[in-house]
Amino acid sequence: MPSRLALCLALIPFAATFAADEKTKPAPAKDIFGQTKVWQFHLSLSAKEFEAMQPAAGGFFGGFGGPPGGPPKQPAPPPKASDPNRDVHKSVFNMDFPIAKGEFSAEGKTYKDVAMRYKGNGSYLPTMTKLKRNFKVELDRYSDDQRFHGHKTINLNASAVDPTRLREAIGFGIYRDAGVAAPRTAFAEVTLTAEGKWDKEYLGLYTVIEQVDRAFLKNHFKDGTGLLLKPERMRGLDYLGDDWDKYKANYNPKHEATKEQAKRTIDFVKLVNVGDDAQFNKEIGSYLDVDQFLRYMGVTAMLSNMDSFFSLGHNYYMYLNPKTNKFVFMPWDLDLALAGFPFIFSPEVQIDLSLSHPYPGECKLADRLLAIKDVSEAYQKVLKDIAKTCFTKERLIKDIEVLEGATKEIIARETKTTAARKEAAGIDFSAFSRVPDLRTFVDKRIASVTSQLEGKSKGQIPPAMPNFGGPPPGGPGGPAGPPPRIGDILPGPAQDMLRLTPEQRKKLAEIQKGVDKQVEELLTEEQRATLKRIRESRPGGPGGPGKEPPKFPKQ
């Protein structure tokens, strides 16, 4: 049987016929995606709309989000759209992304009056002073029937923290092949016109990510009318009582839940958090598609996808499938997968990540499931199946080679045009120099997975990490302590990794007090107030020198 990759390559020559058929017979949604498919997209806005789209100063790091081309702005309170009547999207990092109106062009056709905004949380930060940023394009916001080959929304990910630009295409493909409902991908070369500022300026390579919406859900589950949730700002599935209104902010339903859907969600998380073992073991299978969850967990662990449900508690969807009345989990944002998240977890931990405990502290849902003997045995079978069919060295290396061939020249052109713009440096993300190149990851991760499945090793459980603004994973009993602050000499995670003794921690705290006092004396009153706002608005980060991990080959 031909591989998924071979089938994708075989279909590429037929892509040019899609546009011709569009007026007489709309092309199916699958037509815009393909592992090596590269689109030519153009975004165009008036000067007024381009200016309005820029986030105001403030947000996660205090604000560097003004129009590109100049130095970062000074920190300010959390940002708000300059026009109070303009719709905005609020990110998890407290950044308001104003929604602008512009035009989207592809295949010689221009779609007018489309909505555009920037998107992302951690993936947006490195681009705040750049022209190339993540975009979300909504074709139907101002024109209900406007579609691009059946799609209402185009997600354009800049992959700013992934020097290879390949992690999302590789990662989503493995989820899908393992039987997990996951977005499809393609690539696009994107140009931008902003009246009076930029004229068809070349931004470079983007990954096109399929939107998880009702069409996606209907395609995967035959029914898109169930409750779709995109939880944020919590680690684990928190039980917040019996009032559904208390769940909306963190569970983030994508449409108004019916009374039955709201009750089903509350009952599910209540079972996970406070149900006794007998009740949990008896009822969990009626609330959760257990096999699907084990596959989602298995791929997440093998890909060392740390920016996910299991670690930071976001970048995933939950769907209450109306056909089964059970919840399923789906991945989102994989630019930090394949050991690409060096800020909190060392490359060594990510490469040798435990398959049975791929998260710090506890995850009540996973912990309680794997405590059931039959489920634990089923998970081992799932892991072996994934390792044999989807997560093989041959398949991964082939994907890397084919994707590199499709993107190498585009990335080179982007690098050249980006350098010519001489943009502001922005935030220092030099930590990503520690990220292993993809071939190193494949070699070492496959060896670790093989060793664990053969019972020769258990892999590494990630150390405790900061609590990113919400309850510890699974509720009480998770990692304790405040999140690291800017200026910390050795944050909590670094202290844990260095295994400091209680006496060392006590002495370090005294040293930190002295450093804080010196900083206070150094700064002006206005600067102290600004530093206070930055510390209160950012959800932590490693900071401080810590222990420098060994460097891996650059990508």
3-class SS string, 205-226: EEEEECCCCHHHHHHHHCCCCC
Give the per-residue pLDDT at 66.
Answer: 41
Q: Are 93 and 121 spatial neighbours (Cβ–Cβ below 8 Å)?
A: yes
- Where do we find the tokens 């019972």? 455
SS3 of 478, please? coil
Question: 302 is written with which tokens?
Answer: 């093998």
Q: Are 240 and 247 spatial neighbours (Cβ–Cβ below 8 Å)?
A: yes
- Global pTM reads 0.78
- Where do we find the tokens 């931990």? 349
SS3 of 425, please? coil
- Where do we find the tokens 């019916």? 258
Q: Where are the beta strands (DSSP E) in 322-361?
A: 326-331
Give phi and psi for 110, each to the nearest 5.
Answer: -110, 130
Q: Residue 397 carries which DSSP code?
A: H
Question: 364 is written with which tokens?
Answer: 């009540």
SS3 of 156, please? strand
Give the per-residue pLDDT at 342.
Answer: 85
SS3 of 352, please? coil
Helix 373-389 / helix 438-453 crossing angle, nearest 10 deg: 140
Helix 393-421 / helix 167-177 crossing angle, nearest 10 deg: 150
Question: 255 is written with which tokens?
Answer: 């449409």
Rg, C-alpha atoms of the chain = 23
Cβ contacts of 479-485, under 8 Å, gap ≥ 24: 479/360, 479/361, 483/539, 483/540, 484/540, 484/541, 484/542, 484/543, 484/544, 485/535, 485/540, 485/543
Question: 38 is written with which tokens?
Answer: 């590269």
SS3 of 39, please? strand
Q: Are 158 and 411 spatial neighbours (Cβ–Cβ below 8 Å)?
A: no
User: In the chain, count of helices (H) and strands (E)?
Assistant: 17, 12
Give the per-residue pLDDT at 474.
Answer: 37
For each of the chain's 555 residues, which pLDDT tens digit applies? 444 444 343 433 333 333 333 333 444 444 899 999 999 999 999 999 999 999 875 444 433 334 444 333 333 334 444 566 788 988 877 788 999 999 999 999 999 999 999 998 878 888 888 999 999 999 999 999 999 999 999 999 999 989 999 999 999 999 999 999 999 999 999 999 999 999 999 999 999 999 999 999 999 999 999 999 999 988 899 999 999 999 999 999 999 999 999 999 999 999 999 999 999 999 999 999 999 999 999 999 999 999 999 998 999 999 999 999 999 999 999 999 999 998 788 999 999 999 999 999 999 999 999 999 999 999 999 999 999 999 999 999 999 999 999 999 999 999 999 999 999 876 666 666 788 999 999 999 999 999 999 999 999 999 876 544 333 333 333 333 344 555 677 766 566 555 567 777 778 888 888 888 887 888 887 777 767 755 554 333 333 333 343 444 444
Of 223, 243, 249, 250, the C-alpha closest to 319 is 223
What is the Cα–Cα distance from 196 to 267, expressed in whole angstroms?
55
Q: Residue 337 carries which DSSP code?
A: T
What is the Cα–Cα distance from 364 to 238, expressed in whole angstroms?
10
What is the Cα–Cα distance from 121 to 513, expressed in whole angstroms?
31
Of 429, 528, 539, 545, the C-alpha closest to 484 is 539
Q: Where are the beta strands (DSSP E) in 195-300?
A: 198-209, 227-229
The 10 Å CB-count burial string (b at 16+, else e) for 432-442 is: bebbbbbebbb
Of 119, 83, 174, the C-alpha closest to 386 is 174
- Report the largest interatomic distance among the alpha carbons of the chain, rounded to a whole angstrom: 76
What is the Cα–Cα distance from 414 to 223, expressed in whole angstroms?
41
Give the per-residue pLDDT at 494.
Answer: 60
SS3 of 111, please? strand
Helix 290-302 / helix 167-177 crossing angle, nearest 10 deg: 150
Give the per-residue pLDDT at 16.
Answer: 36
Domain ranges of the chain: 4-216
Q: Are 333 and 315 spatial neighbours (Cβ–Cβ below 8 Å)?
A: yes
What is the Cα–Cα distance from 11 to 21, expressed in whole angstroms?
16
Give the per-residue pLDDT at 466.
Answer: 52
Give the per-residue pLDDT at 430.
Answer: 66
What is the Cα–Cα distance from 366 to 87, expressed in whole angstroms?
38
